[in-house]
Structure 1
């Protein structure tokens, strides 16, 4: 995204080639004897890195400023190089321009989104009318965060999976005689068939399955939280506001959230698809087996998780 000062506002330029085509623009400029006239543009989040216009630098970056020297030459420069070349004057001009450019960007985003608000409401309605319904799925995820609903054992297991990103489910199984003897040999113990048969059985942990997308329980991926905070509340505020009459502070705050609306819709759509897989009998089957097979799990915990498990598709 590229912004160039135009009177008291900004003009948006969509292509870096348009900057390079400017008559006085120099993609490489020796700034040793150049004095700063103005910082007239700002660019951010470009698809490709642009080499710094300072001849002694040339490092690639996707964010920087457009400057014009007193000799009338224009070039692009990063924040550090701009400060090194022009000092405090550049710092102040760049900071002021960036703030004004952000204000213009977010004000424009508010006005464009206000014009297209019906499209956003359609996207919201599509999510709400999904199968299974988003609200139902969100409530199931809330249940899975509550040990009173799914039992303490299942809650602790799912919490660990979500935090580590590891959905593997383990179950202790008795080692075969051959496995025990091999382990004894590897640990340099003598194998006595008679004593082996009378000794206590030894166990090994075996992966019996994997629960997919356990991170759906984390707040950063919680579809209920994301939908309420980043979609519903933002659309409500956008619908009520008049971009030309709200304060600059409100433009900056709401504008940033509106600017990200498209990205947040894509994010929640992706997380919704993963949550649909997460909250299924098939996905949680290994955990259900583990809960029921473990002797250390109380009957109450087994009963609670079994009741919850039966409600899943």
Structure 2
């Protein structure tokens, strides 16, 4: 494909024949008698194109279209450009590639700006809709203890599940006599009867598995994800893309390049949060309530969750 940087912006051409029909194009220029004016395009082809310099004509797949001071246009590779035109060519190629990148960024941001109404509407629905981000975030904060509303015993069970990294709910208890005997037999501690009699073992019983666990995982905060997406949407809406400075263009393009991934992350967290906050799912934590007061508080929390 060929990329031309013209007054109309970037022009992309698929056929080399279109280049050969450009006024002034020649496939044979003597580098000793010509002065470069500017680089006007670049190309990448699977098929090899002969270099336009009379001293080379070696086929290559990547190169530049250059305009000479006398109006002629030809094509040369990067190696020939540096060899015959030295610093001048290097400077021109940098200017050209920077201009192409800037124009590509403007086109990219323009396309994103056309998508803004749909994206903004989706984010607003995700944020404020029924069982949306605001609703999920408030309840996840309660479950993880970021806001004081649930009993400590329930919060600790959730925190332990988070630390385990898989959403498994575990209750620890003292081992039975039979379990201790089996454990010591496996350890083969002959002659250490005092250990067998006096050392209690703790057994972990798996009593549940929280569905939608990723909504609780560190780094999956909805506030953080929305805090990345919403400022970008506002900045893009207010931006005059054609007037952005190079720095502003780079920063906005970088954020724009991360937008779809952040949107997908937001959707994923919302889906996980809605799975997590089903009444039947969260009800598994009931057995961690250690008093009637704890139980009443937790029942009030459950009452607000969908079936």
2:218 and 2:172 map into 1 onto residues whose CA distance is 32
Does the residue aligned with 2:208 lie in a helix, a strand or coil? strand
Query: What is the CA distance between 1:281 and its match in structure 2?
Result: 3.5
Q: Match of 1:276, SS?
A: helix
Shift of 1:105: 2.5
Query: Residue in 1 aligned with 2:60?
Result: 74
CA distance in 1, matches of 2:129, 2:190: 64
1:110 aligns with 2:105: no
- Aligned residues: CA RMSD: 4.8
1:93 and 1:206, CA in 2 relative to 1: closer, same or farther beyond 3 A? farther
**Correspondence for 2:247:** 249
Match of 1:261 among 234, 254, 259: 259
Task: Report how far residue 272 of structure 1 moved.
Answer: 0.8
Taking structure 2 as the reference length, the TM-score comes to 0.62
Secondary structure at the counterpart of residue 233 of structure 2: helix
2:221 is the alignment partner of 1:211: no
1:292 maps to 2:289: yes
* Residues in 2 aligned to 1:152 and 1:249: alpha-carbon distance in whole angstroms: 49
What residue number does 1:220 align with?
Answer: 219
Q: Which has the larger radius of gyration?
A: 2
Greater relative CO (CA pairs within 8 A, separation 6+)? 1
User: Is the alpha carbon distance of 1:170 and 1:247 closer, same or farther for their aligned partners in structure 2, counting shifts above 3 Å?
Assistant: same
- Measure how far apart 1:108 and its partner are: 0.9
Q: Is the CA contact (8 Å cut-off) linking 1:110 and 1:259 kept in structure 2?
A: no
CA distance in 1 between partners of 2:301 and 2:39 (Å): 65
CA distance in 2, matches of 1:235, 1:109: 14
Task: Name the count of aligned residue pairs.
Answer: 264
Q: Return the alpha-carbon distance in structure 2 between the equivalents of residues 245 and 118 of structure 1.
A: 22
Change in Cα spacing, 1:292 to 1:93, as seen in structure 2 (3 Å) is farther
The answer on whether the counterparts of 2:106 and 2:241 sit within 8 Å (CA) in structure 1 is yes
Gaps of 5+ in 1: 24-36, 44-49, 54-67
1:308 positional shift: 4.0
Specify the alignment match of 2:171 in structure 1: 171
Q: Which TM-score applies when normalising by structure 1?
A: 0.61
Task: Spell out, residue by residue over 1:197-241, the C-alpha distance to the aligned partner (whole angstroms, 9 max, x if none).
Answer: x978644112112224444245632223212431x3222222222
Map of 2:274 onto structure 1 = 276
SS for the counterpart of 2:243 is: coil
Contact 1:39 1:94 (8 Å CA) reproduced:
no
Post-superposition shift, 1:303?
A: 6.9
